[in-house]
């Protein structure tokens, strides 16, 4: 990918180590250099800095409108859930038990110079790991008749799942998300909702984040606790590992029976509703870093960038400052008059008193799509110098000021499309269909055993017989069936695990 800096004739990068040397450490250094987030004093939690939170706000804005356009309303449910609520659905509580944070006391008292918990609660409260049970309790009161259905609710909130091996944005004890919950009168309608949301997510992730995904159903071992069917989007990172981008669950009547969500149907009979739940998280920010980033930092698809264009005034003499800044703000205002996907282009004038090189590299590391330099010579020519983040850092394009309103949106769209094409090409290069048994699979995912260690890992598309217990063999290799793709080849083959005849295609990979 593009992005190198030149220093005294030697090539260097803004981020060290580079991706090929140590991808996990590169990821952490990119987050630090781009000022996206940092670890908090509480292990496993993170502080999301303004540049990182700006990405979440952009994602939230795009997705929230999509959700509302499909007939869902936003609401808010409590952070604390009575322990007894989780116990209502046995499979659900078992699936989340090890991740739950629990509140047992309601006040602190001073004792021997220290604060100690006091006032034990009659019933422990679980800090929200997900909201199916508390939402179900509300739905049981809100739903009485078939006329109350479908009930479609969405929530933007934080959740807590105690994480033993945290990694910023990817796995943290507390993270931000969107979770939808719906109740329906029929099984068919609830299943349609589940798949409709999956497609809504897919279009959002591919069109806005420029991250290509494979959509499919989760295998039984990977299914959401308490769900009948779980569907997911799986994306490939640049280290060829899979990242689950979002999930949509058909819950059947499991939670409605546990929470007593009942309604009188058109025949006057009492029935249990059919429910769904679905969500995406701040993990999506991690995916953007790992899919699009290069060795100079983040590269942001323009549609999610909190700022799409930065104007960098070049002021060689202090007496020219006011003139150059006035010109920079004039250019910024003219660009703001142009439209990109129905919104004004987001422009920022960086008038901080910093050296030009330092300022420039800060924005490169942050991944802002376009940098525009303006100085006295540009003023004389009524022009600007434009730099694209998808090009080498010294590549530049001189544009007349009158061209900017038209050219900037065109270039932003070119970049959006290019990032998606590049990521999709990378994924295509690393999907393998010629691995047919467990021995080959183990060799392929083990660099020291591989004949071509430089290309080890990726997505293996293989056949699976679906027999219970077979996924345990993959667990031993630290692999998993990421999904059963919606698009199936329909061809006959042999199961990669058992060697038995099989027709079901699955994606197998290492994952985050």
326: domain CATH number is 3.40.50.800
- Rounded Cα distance between 276 and 77, Å, is 16
Q: In Å, what is the CA distance from 392 to each residue of 3, 102, 295, 443?
A: 5, 50, 11, 37
Domain assignment of residue 117, yes or no: yes
Tell me, yes or no, whether 108 and 202 share the same domain: yes
Full pLDDT tens readout for the chain, 512 residues: 444 343 333 467 999 999 999 999 999 999 999 999 999 999 999 999 999 999 999 999 999 999 999 999 999 999 999 999 999 988 888 888 899 999 999 999 999 999 999 999 999 999 999 999 999 999 999 999 999 999 999 999 999 999 888 999 999 999 999 999 999 999 999 999 999 999 999 999 999 999 999 999 999 999 999 999 999 999 999 999 999 999 999 999 999 999 999 999 999 999 999 999 999 999 999 999 999 999 999 999 999 999 999 999 999 999 999 999 999 999 999 999 999 999 999 999 999 988 989 999 999 999 999 999 999 999 999 999 999 999 999 999 999 999 999 999 999 999 999 999 999 999 999 999 999 999 999 999 987 655 555 557 899 999 999 999 999 999 999 999 999 999 999 999 999 999 999 999 999 999 99
Residue 11 is assigned to a structural domain of this protein: no
- Clarify whether residues 147 and 54 are in a common domain: yes
Same domain for 278 and 422?
no
- 40 lies in the same domain as 129: yes
Read off the CATH number of the domain in which 276 is found: 3.30.930.10
In a domain, 7, yes or no: no
Q: Given 381, 412, 427, which residue is the final one in a domain?
A: 427
In a domain, 10, yes or no: no
pLDDT at 360: 96
For residue 120, which phi and psi values (nearest 5 degrees)? -65, 135
Domain boundary among 381, 403, 427: 427
Inside any domain, residue 363: yes
Query: pTM here?
Result: 0.94
Instruction: Please work out, in degrees rounded to the nearest 5, the angle formed at the alpha carbon of residue 127 by the alpha carbons of 124 and 129.
Output: 125
Q: Given this model, what pLDDT does residue 4 score?
A: 38
Q: Give the integer Cα–Cα distance in Å for 505 and 489.
A: 7
Q: Classify residue 108: in a domain, yes or no.
A: yes
For position 486, which CATH number holds? 3.30.110.30
Q: In the numeric block, which tokens belong to residue 114?
A: 């220290």
Q: Do 268 and 174 lie in a common domain?
A: yes
In this structure, the chain runs to a length of 512
Same domain, yes or no, for 437 and 357? no
What integer pLDDT is reported at residue 448 of this predicted model?
63
- How many domains does the chain contain in total? 3
Is residue 245 located within the same domain as residue 310? no
Tell me: do 173 and 146 sit in the same domain: yes
* Residues 334, 481 within the same domain: no
Q: Does the residue 331 lie in any domain?
A: yes
Q: What is the pLDDT of residue 92?
A: 86
Beta bridge pairs of residue 339 = 344
Same domain? 92 vs 213: yes
Classify 79 as helix, strand or coil: coil
Do 347 and 404 fall into the same domain? yes
* CA separation for the pair 158, 173 (Å, rounded): 10
Full domain range(s) for residue 95:
24-292
Considering the domain boundaries, does residue 4 fall inside one? Answer: no
Whether residue 423 sits in one domain with residue 443 = no
* Residue after which a domain boundary falls, among 405, 427, 449: 427
The predicted structure's pLDDT at residue 446: 86
pLDDT of residue 356: 86
């Amino acid at each position: 990918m593009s992005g190198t800096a030149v220093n005294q004739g030697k090539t260097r990068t803004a981020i060290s180590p580079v991706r090929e040397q140590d991808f996990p450490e590169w990821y952490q250094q990119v987050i630090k250099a781009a000022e996206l987030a940092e670890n908090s004093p509480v292990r496993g939690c993170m502080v999301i800095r303004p540049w990182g939170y700006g990405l979440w706000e952009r994602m939230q804005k795009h997705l929230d409108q999509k959700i509302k356009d499909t007939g869902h309303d936003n609401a808010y449910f409590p952070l604390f859930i009575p322990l007894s609520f989780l116990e209502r659905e046995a499979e659900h509580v078992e699936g989340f038990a090890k991740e739950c944070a629990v509140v047992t006391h309601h006040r602190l008292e001073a004792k021997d110079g220290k604060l100690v918990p006091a006032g034990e609660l009659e019933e422990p409260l679980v800090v929200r790991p997900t909201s199916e049970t508390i939402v179900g309790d509300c739905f049981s009161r809100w739903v009485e008749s078939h006329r109350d259905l479908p009930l479609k609710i969405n929530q933007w909130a934080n959740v807590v799942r105690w994480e033993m091996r945290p990694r910023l944005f990817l796995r943290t004890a507390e993270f931000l998300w969107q979770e939808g919950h719906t109740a329906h009168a029929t099984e068919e309608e609830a299943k349609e909702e589940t798949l409709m949301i999956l497609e809504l997510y897919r279009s959002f992730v591919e069109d806005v984040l420029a991250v290509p995904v494979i959509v499919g159903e989760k295998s039984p071992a990977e299914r959401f606790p308490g769900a009948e069917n779980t569907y997911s989007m799986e994306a490939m990172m640049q280290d060829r590992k899979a990242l689950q981008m979002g999930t949509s669950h058909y819950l059947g009547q499991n939670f409605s029976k546990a929470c007593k969500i009942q309604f009188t149907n058109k025949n006057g009979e009492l029935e249990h509703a059919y429910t769904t739940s679905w969500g995406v998280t701040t993990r999506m920010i991690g995916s953007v870093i790992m899919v699009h980033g290069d060795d100079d930092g983040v590269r942001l698809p323009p549609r999610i960038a909190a700022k799409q264009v930065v104007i960098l005034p070049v002021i060689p003499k202090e007496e020219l400052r006011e003139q150059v800044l006035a010109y920079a703000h004039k250019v910024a205002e003219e660009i703001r008059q142009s439209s990109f996907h129905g919104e004004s282009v987001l422009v920022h004038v960086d008038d901080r008193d910093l050296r030009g090189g330092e300022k420039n590299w800060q924005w490169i590391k942050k991944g802002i799509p376009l940098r525009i330099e303006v100085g006295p010579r540009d003023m004389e020519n009524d022009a600007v110098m434009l730099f694209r983040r998808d090009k080498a850092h010294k590549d530049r394009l001189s544009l007349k000021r009158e061209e900017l309103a038209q050219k900037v949106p065109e270039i932003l769209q070119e970049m959006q499309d290019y990032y998606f094409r590049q990521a999709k090409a990378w994924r295509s290069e690393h999907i393998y269909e010629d691995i047919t048994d467990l021995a080959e699979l183990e060799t392929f995912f083990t660099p020291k055993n591989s004949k071509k260690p430089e290309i080890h890992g990726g997505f293996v598309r293989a056949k699976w017989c679906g027999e219970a217990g077979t996924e345990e063999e993959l667990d031993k290799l630290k692999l998993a069936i990421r999904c059963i793709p919606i698009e199936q080849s329909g061809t006959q083959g042999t199961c990669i695990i058992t060697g038995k005849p099989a027709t079901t295609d699955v994606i197998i990979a290492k994952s985050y």
